[in-house]
Structure 1
Amino acid sequence: MMGVIFDFNGTLFFDGEQQERAWRLFAREAFGKEISDGEFRECVHGRNNDFTMQHLAGKALSARQVDEYVEEKETIYRRLCREDAARFHLALGAEELLDELRERGIPRTIATASRRGNVDFYIESFRLERWFDVEKLVYDDGTILGKPAPDFYLRAAETLGLEPKNCIVFEDAVSGLRAAAAAGAGKVIAVAPEERREAFERMPEVYEVIPNFHEFDRLLLRE
């Protein structure tokens, strides 16, 4: 039996538009900076907050400065999520898969670059305690090297009591897919819209690409 590790943003919760709007609004307000599309892909998407904030600032920042900037950005982000009620839900097929994992007793957790404030926001909004031990979720607590380093997924596998090779990882970001592969995950599955499928299929780290969780082959859980 395999364990399952989920990235969250862009994987279990399709919040790409809200995240991008929040980052662009924040960068404009805090630094007077416009983020290019390429810069967003390379320096924001899937990266931890320390890396992104120091990139946007163009200089080293203290931990306190990073925390203050992060809270500004996340306040914007959470407001945008609440305002977009039509899209404020888990990804297509996610609840059904999570119900099945729970019923079958399959080990599962989340490994997200989000910080505690957003993790608490997600737990409350989506009632994640229905499917996860919320005290053991892996998030950016300031002690874990960010993706594409393997540390998030190594720790997640450890919390499940499994070797990474016995885990399936769901991810949506290049940095996260590489992190999962570097950790030695048994299967690395990209969750992506059709327009990104071809690019992800070319990545040697990716076992398969699915548009939503209805398309996930449950037989992989038995390997």
Structure 2
Amino acid sequence: MTSLRAVLFDLDGVLTPTAEVHMRAWERLFAPYCDARGLAPYTSADYFAHIDGKPRYDGVATFLASRGVELPRGAADDAPGEDTVCALGNRKDVIVNRMFDEEGIAPYPGSVRFLDAVTAAGAQVAVVSSSRNTPAVLAAAGLTERFAVVVDGNVAAREHLAGKPAPDTYLRAAALLGVPAAEAVVVEDALSGVQAGAAGPFGLVLGVDRGVGAQALVAHGADRVVADLGELDAAVLDTPARPVARPADNQGEQA
């Protein structure tokens, strides 16, 4: 008997290198924005600290706050621009979709091997992503048919689910698979994502270090970190599930 029966994959940076495209898209949005306003220059460190893994508008708001900039939230149908948080987020969406069209997308080979291994072993799988572009990315990468359950930014908005670092979207995916969270693996490359895994009663949180740093992933909740999922196989499913803290345990720690 395996301890774990489901694997819940983040998309960008875990299954596909779209995180790299997103990083460059955010830079194309915020580097000139900061330069024109005399703000501290935008760097890749800002992506990991303020944007990575979060819903798009939350990432915009968090980055702007780091520069002391306050904008009205606006609405999701705001025209791409700079007047509201949503307008900036929609402008980024235009940039990244143009890049997808021009550059294409291919999944990480190691991630596909790991996906093959766990599904062959009988595990159920799902994609859990903050991105509203998830269907297009899965289709472009040839992965659509591999996942019957997808909980993305569109589902989160429709069902009013809190985004990462809250565990809600991962919990929803486990529920749709009919698997208790304690028997599910969360696979993430973002700090907010491993925080989401650690915040829920999930059996295992796997971190994939695509640049944020192994120590940071562990510090934020990853039980184990690899540089590439190709390092792993279905033996991951035999990992004993992490113990779920009981109220008495928490009280003892606080004392």
TM-score bracket for the superposition, by shorter chain length: 0.7 to 0.9
Closer/same/farther in 2, CA of residues 147 and 218 from structure 1, 3 Å limit: same
CA distance in 2, matches of 1:96, 1:77: 27
TM-score computed with the length of structure 2 as normaliser: 0.74
The aligned amino acid for 1:11 is: V
- The percentage of aligned residue pairs carrying the same residue is 26
> Size of the alignment, in residue pairs?
216
Find the aligned partners of 1:51 and 1:169 in 2 and give their Cα distance.
Answer: 22
What is residue 10 of structure 1 aligned with on the other side?
13
Counterparts of residues 1-223 of structure 1 (less than 5 Å): 1=2, 2-28=5-31, 32=36, 34-55=41-62, 56=64, 58-64=70-76, 65=78, 68-85=87-104, 88-115=105-132, 118-133=133-148, 136-141=149-154, 142=157, 143-193=160-210, 196-201=213-218, 203=219, 205-223=221-239
CA RMSD of aligned residues (A): 2.5
Letter in 1 for 2:151: V
1:192 touches 1:212 (CA, 8 Å); kept in 2? yes
CA distance in 2, matches of 1:214, 1:3: 18
Structure 1 segments of 4+ aligned residues over 4 angstroms from their partners: 28-34
Structure 2 unmatched runs, 5+ = 79-84, 240-255
Change beyond 3 A, Cα 1:28–1:206: closer
State TM-score, norm by structure 1. 0.84
Larger radius of gyration: 2
Q: CA contact under 8 A between 1:99 and 1:131: conserved in structure 2? A: no
Q: Kindly state the Cα deviation for residue 139 of structure 1 after the two structures are TM-superposed.
A: 0.7
Deviation at 1:28, TM superposition (A): 4.8
Range moving further from structure 2, 138-147 or 38-47? 38-47
- Partner AA of 1:180 in structure 2: G
Task: Using the TM superposition, give the Cα deviation of residue 154 of structure 1 relative to its aligned residue in structure 2, in angstroms.
Answer: 1.1
Deviation (angstroms), 1:82: 4.0
